[in-house]
Amino acid sequence: MFDFVEGKIAEKTPAFAVIDCNGVGYHLPISLNTFSKIPDKGVVKLFTHFVVREDAQLLYGFADREERQLFRLLISVNGVGSATAMMILSALPPAELSGVIAAGNDVALKAIKGVGPKTALRIIIELKDKMGKTGIAAELFPTLHNKVREEALSALVTLGFNKAGVEKALDKMLKDNPLAAVEDLIRTALKMM
């Protein structure tokens, strides 16, 4: 119904923002990710999702379309409401959340307040394929993947290893474990080389 709201920031907190659109103040619950991306003052454009419940009508705000799409995917999972979805998006940036789901890392999801073991598994099972079909994992995850890969590649080349060989090894390791830390990649690569 509403695609976005654009206007001056009247109030901004980690939980919500009030956007003044020509004299009408829209109260938009936001995630910590959105909070960190929008300015404290000035004009802002937030993409929205409208939720109608029996007891309330809520308009959620997101800094970008990708975060909004992740929110929509999360609330499509049985047992995940809008409050839980916002908690998840506040705990993990979209790129990291995309990687957690793609890797099937239920431990990272269970660490989030309000997400139990069954809900974590349900999120992974239901969203792993949906994210691939919508292309959201491809849009979000490569940024994180490339940064870790580049840091590990740089360190190993500095140590004197052949760049082409290191790239092949890193690609194989990241395919097996997309959420591997830089240190783990370097250690494993040193054992393989």
Q: Which of 141, 4, 29, 138 is nearest to 81 (CA)?
A: 29
* For the chain, counts of helices (H) and of strands (E): 9, 5
Report the Cα 154 to chain-centroid distance in Å: 26
- Per the structure, the complete domain to which residue 149 belongs is given by 141-192
For 106: left if phi > 0, alpha if psi spans -120 to 50, otherwise beta; the answer is alpha
Same-domain pairing of 151 and 188: yes
Q: From 10, 7, 11, 63, select the one nearest 35 (Cα to Cα).
A: 63
Domain final position from 13, 29, 62: 62
Q: Which pLDDT tens digits describe the chain residue by residue (193 residues)? A: 789 999 999 999 999 999 999 999 999 999 999 999 999 999 999 999 999 989 999 999 999 999 999 999 999 999 899 999 999 999 988 888 888 888 788 888 998 988 999 999 999 999 987 776 655 654 555 444 567 788 888 888 888 888 888 888 887 887 777 777 788 888 888 887 7
Q: Per the structure, how many domains does the chain have? A: 3
CATH of the domain at 31: 2.40.50.140
